[in-house]
Structure formats: C-alpha cells, structure tokens
Structure 1
Amino acid sequence: MPQVLIRPPKARPGDRIAVLSPSFAAAGAYPAVHEQAMRRLAELTGLVPVEFPTTRRVGASAAARAADVNAAFADPTIRAILTVLGGDDQITVVPHLDANLARADPKPFLGTSDNTNLHQWLWSAGIASFYGGSSQVHLGPGPGVDDVHARSLCAALVTGEQLEVTDPGESEDFGVDWGDPRALESFGEREPTEPWSWYGPARSVTGPTWGGCLEVIEWVLTAGRGPVSPDALAGGVLLLETSEELLPARNVGWIVRALGERGILGAVDAVLVGRPPVSDHARRPPAEERRRLRTGQRDVVAGLVGQYNPDAVVCVGVPFGHTKPQWILPHGGIVTVDGAGRRVHADYT
C-alpha cells in the first residue's frame, strides 16, 4: 500500500525557523551571502531565523551536525527548518539522527541536493517535507529572490496553498562566485528555457511525491535506506533531478535503469524530471552543446521510463533541484501531473 505521511503544520509569522548546515557550512565560508539570505528570509516569510552551533562551522563532524538537526526538532519554539546548502557527506549524518524527535513534533523541512538524505530519513519516519530551498543559492545571492522561489517558499513554510508550477522562462546553472562581492547584487548568466517535454498517456495523475537528487538517491538505496518495497510508492509521482557534478547522460541512464530494476519506475504513475545543470564555473560549453547535453539526459530518462512503465505520465524540464529560478516541491505531499492539459500543480498544505 502507498505510504501515508504526516504533513507538518505551518509556521506562523513571528515563529522561529532553524537554519542548519547538515552538509557543507557555506554560511561560514561565505558569511556575506548568508547574512543577506537571512534578512530576505525574515522579510519574505515573517519568520525569525535561528542559527545552531554548526550552521557556520566549516568541517563540523557528522555527529555535531546531526546534533543540531535533533536539537531543532526537539525545540518546541522552532516551527520550521531550512538548510543552507547541500554537500556530499550527509549520508554519514543520518545514523546519528533520532526519528522519535521528528515524529514527536513534525515541522516543515526544506532542502535540496545532499539533503535528499534527510528527506528520505523523514519519509521513512512517516513525515512529509519539501524538496527545494537552499538559502545560500536561492535567497542570498543576486539583486533579489526569484518570484517562483519566493512563492513556493512561503507556501511551504507559512501559507500552505496550492500553486501551479510554471516555467519562469529563464534559467542559470550557477551564479557569481560567493567570494566575489558582486554575488550580493548580480545573478549568474541566465538563458531562455526550452518548453517542457511530455511523454506517456494524455491523462492526469495526482499522488504523493518521492525522490530527489538522482546521485544521492543512488547512495541512499545503496546504503539500504529509502522504501522497503516499491509498493509504498504505488500511484505516486517520482521526482528526479541531477546535480552540479554534470553527469553524462549514460551515467544518468545507469542509475535510472537501476530504479527500473528495483521496481520504482513501475510503481509510480508519473515522473517529473528537473532541468539539469550542464555547466559550472570551470566548464561553460557553447549554447548548442548545452542544449545537446540537456536533450541527452531527457531522452535517456524518458526512454527508460517508457520501457519500464509505458503508462506513466512523464514531464521533463521542470525547474526544480539544481537550477535557478527554482520551484520548491512537496516531498511526500501531493502533486498533480496533467498529461492532457500539460500542467503541473503542487499542494503545499
């Protein structure tokens, strides 16, 4: 049977929100961007950001970072949790976490990338969360906060309404280096987005979401975490997106194929695939090559889902995950993927 998750109550203006670094403490490495992010977080949501001992401590141990997560769930005055950034070692934090604390006082949790580990931990504990939100990427840099991010951030944390997930029309893979003062006032190099690609039957699917960063999902499943059985995902919506590691399409295909062999592709009724980054500070291919790289990922994922589950509705290019502007999406909450109307709606209650 599909797993039914608790949806934590929303915070209220004036409540305290924990801002944590369960992975890399970018807040300590680049404090100016972090401090601008905290001001904008308070202005947008009406919440009061609260830092914990490792929020700015670069190199903090896994146990110390886990202690902050546990403390945030244990503190009754903390009504939501937002992560600063991802990283690459949060998988070592999870064994130190106490699921009983999260179950005793569920709170909205927001994060992306390496925080897929914490989303899976919460999902296994029976608690829904929100995939997206990285204060160092989406709140701190640039002249302001993108509209789609601001609206989904407020919906996830405070207001809880239903929103249509739309294409903002532009995207960037990376921004100005956070060590450069211009990062506080300038976005990165943005380019027009392409129309989303749709596959599968012209039907509408509404169901709970599961997924995250594809590379981290591979780690989570290798560690024996995540769904015990694909049946827990039956009728749901699979969220897949790739990181700034810029995996070639064939590597993406290898992981997605393994999800098919595990039964995950066959269990879900719809798949949303994020717009992938195809460049970084060191590598910026020409525009035509960037399009080719995105098309390669699109084709391999859509082809594999079609092989394992031809009845699934698939939409590729949705702006969530490692892209900016970014939509925050429910994880364990409800999303509607309408293959007939070619629209996506998310329920943030």
Structure 2
Amino acid sequence: MTGVPVRPLVHPPKARPGDRVAVLSPSFAAPAVAPEIHEQAMRRLTEVTGLVPVEYPTTRRLDADPRDRAADLMAAFGDPSIRAVLATIGGEDQLTVVPHLDPDVVRADPKPFLGYSDNTNLLSWLWTHGVAAFHGGSTQVHLGPGPGVDPVHAASLRAALLTGERLEVTDPGESADLGLRWEDPRALTESGEREPTEPWTWAGPARAVTGPTWGGCLEVLQWVLAAGRFPDDAGVLDGSVLLLETSEELPPADTVRRMVRVLGERGLLERVAGVVVARPPAQSFEQLRGPDERAAHRAAQRDAVLDVVGRYAPDAVVVVDVPFGHTSPQWVLPYGGLMTVDGVERRVWADYS
C-alpha cells in the first residue's frame, strides 16, 4: 500500500452511549416541514447509538438567519456536555453561515460532525482548520423515514460516533434515489422503490492506496473554491483520497465534466492518490425517470468523471458508484480520516478512528 502523510488533523474523541449530541439544521430546517419524520429520527438515533439528541433554537426554524444558525453551531461545539454534532439535512445556503463560525471554539473541544450535501461547506471548513469529520448522515433522510435504519448506515454511523473501527465499504446490492414524500403518512413505515445496483467501475493503476479524505458534493465544492475557502497550497492534498458525489439537482454529464475539470485546473486532481465517486441520484421528485433513463444518466456521469480524472490524475486509483452521498442505503465515510482504495483486490476500506 502507498500513502503520503498530509496535513495533521485532530480526530475528535468518540461519544459514549448516554452522551448528549446536538442535532442541528445548519442549512434547511427540514424538521419544520416534516416534524413526525424528525421525531422518529430522534427516537431511532437513540435506539441505534444509545445517544441522547439535543435540539437547538434553529433546528426547526425555517429561514433562520445565518448568524443564528452559526450561533447554534458554536453553542453546540462550545458545550462540554455535547459530544457530537449531527446535521438534519443539507440545503443550499450554508456558504453564508461559515463566515460567522469561530475555529477557536471548535479546536478547544473537537467533536465529531456528521453531514453531507450542503454540509460540504462545514466539512471542508473543519478540515481547513485542522479537525476531521464524517461525510454522510442526515437524520431527516437516513434515520427518520421508512421501516427502519439500513444496516450499512447504522454500522457506519455507530463507527463514526462511537466505536471508531475500520470497516470495509461494501455494496448493499440495492439502491433508491427517492423515498416517499414526507407528507405521505406511509413515509414513516415504507421505503421508496429500490433497484439492483450495478458493479463498481474501477480505473487507474492496479495498486492499493491509503490516504486521508477531502471532497464532498461536487456542486458545493465549486462554491467553496469560488469563495476562496481552500488553502492556497494544493500540496495539502498530496496522497489523499478525493470523495466526489452529486446531488438530487441531477447535474448533466457535461456539467459534471466541467466541474471536475475545475478541480484539475486548480491543481487538485494531480495531487490525490485515489478518487472515490458516489453512485449518483438519477431522478428527483421534480424529474421522475424510467429505469433506462436512470441508467443512462449514471453511465454518462461515470464516463465524464473517468475521462477528466484520467487526464489530470492518470496515476490515481479510481472507483465509481460507491454507495455514499445522495443515495440510500448510504455509507457514512471519514472526512480527513483514512480510506484505502485497493485497485488490486477491488475493495474499499474506511477508518473511523
């Protein structure tokens, strides 16, 4: 295995059953529009982890001022009785929350943060200030709806919050882009339609690489870079594993190609040892598609990413269609923690310490 040390990161200590954990809405306050889903998520969080969820003033407040959302984040990180912070869901304006955050508060008592999608803003901000976190985990999407918590999500959630072991990231064999609409009473007890997954696609040299992760939702990464919230020295990514996923806004392949190309032109792709690309959502409530159209969307996006990464990072080990990001079942993955991408055995491992 190969791996190059990069920037030192603090890995926050794990919580213990019975500890209090903050459940916040740093972006969209989904619990305000679907309180029954949220309340079921809170019960299940305790059932799966033994942790006690604590809400803050903006957890259920729609259109909360960014400064108020930032204040809740700082209150949670500053409270010694709170031992982890979980986002209810993503959104589209967390970029406006970040300027009101104080890294000294976080560094004084680092604790695990879990989120994805628009929470890429917070994940990258924490990483920039030296604190590792976890990509994934939306209480409103992956804990609250349906008949129960998917086993792979529960296992990686517990690893991120409690146990810190090393797990192999496996494919559950089925996937869904959508659940039922939250206003439908069946959403509390039934899953959305799932379909069989396809084998992962591998590219790059036949070798195994291990490195700390960075990345996230590709659309949000563009905002992070445009706002100047990435270190000037691209060398901080030397030997790392890049995580890439796209959202339910369903960017077409040409758009994805251009966004990944930006990472290449910024000098980021050439630095990484591995690239792990999520199985992308291929439909939304606004754009329902049949099986053939969904398969074509995923294939076109896969080909676009492989083409661009192959141009800028031919030595990187690449795997596409891994179940994280905007898909269910969802793996929570380390952000700043180590992942191994093994192009020989064609296996992926994640270290949750």
Deviation at 1:227, TM superposition (A): 3.0
Instruction: Return the match for 1:40 from 33, 37, 44.
Output: 44
TM-aligned CA deviation for residue 282 of structure 1: 2.4
1:302 maps to a residue whose letter is L
**1:50 and 2:15 aligned:** no
Partner of 2:149: 145
Corresponding position of 1:175: 179
Counterpart residue type for residue 220 of structure 2: V
* Aligned with residue 26 of structure 1, among 25, 30, 41: 30
Matched letter for residue 266 of structure 1: E
Q: Specify the alignment match of 1:63 in structure 2.
A: 67
Matched, 1:156 2:151: no
The equivalent residue for 1:283 is 287
* Deviation >6 Å, runs of 4+: none
CA distance in 1 between partners of 2:32 and 2:46 (Å):
19
**Alignment correspondent of 1:118:** 122
1:156 CA drift (Å): 0.1
Letter in 2 for 1:309: A
**Matched letter for residue 267 of structure 2:** G
Counterpart of 1:338? 342
Do structure 1's residue 222 and structure 2's residue 226 form an aligned pair? yes
**Map 1:242-253 → 2, pairs under 5 A:** 242-253=246-257
Structure 1: give runs of 5+ residues left out of the alignment: none
> For 2:264 and 2:286, how far apart are their aligned partners in 1?
33
Separation of aligned partners in 2, 1:59 and 1:92: 12
> 1:255 and 2:255 equivalent?
no
Report the AA paired with residue 111 of structure 1.
G
For 2:148, the aligned partner's letter is: G
Deviation per CA, 1:77-119, whole angstroms, max 9, x where unpaired? 0000000000000000000011100000000000010000000
TM-score, L = length of structure 2: 0.98
Which of 272, 295, 301 aligns to 1:297? It is 301
Task: Tell me the equivalent position of 2:320.
Answer: 316
Q: Aligned pair count?
A: 349
Question: How far does the alpha carbon of each residue in 1:193-219 deviate from its partner, in whole angstroms, 9 at most, with x for none?
Answer: 000000000000000000000000000
Deviation at 1:228, TM superposition (A): 2.3
For 1:252 and 1:161, how far apart are their aligned partners in 2? 33
Q: Partners in 1 of 2:237 and 2:294 — Cα distance?
A: 33
Gaps of 5+ in 2: none
Task: Confirm whether residue 265 of structure 1 aligns to residue 302 of structure 2.
Answer: no
Q: Which SS does the other structure have where 2:244 is aligned?
A: strand
Q: Deviations over 1:246-268 (max 9, x none)?
A: 00000000010010011111000
Query: AA paired with 1:212?
Result: G
Work out the CA distance in 1 between the residues paired with 2:99 and 2:319.
34
Identify which of 333, 340, 344 aligns with 1:329: 333
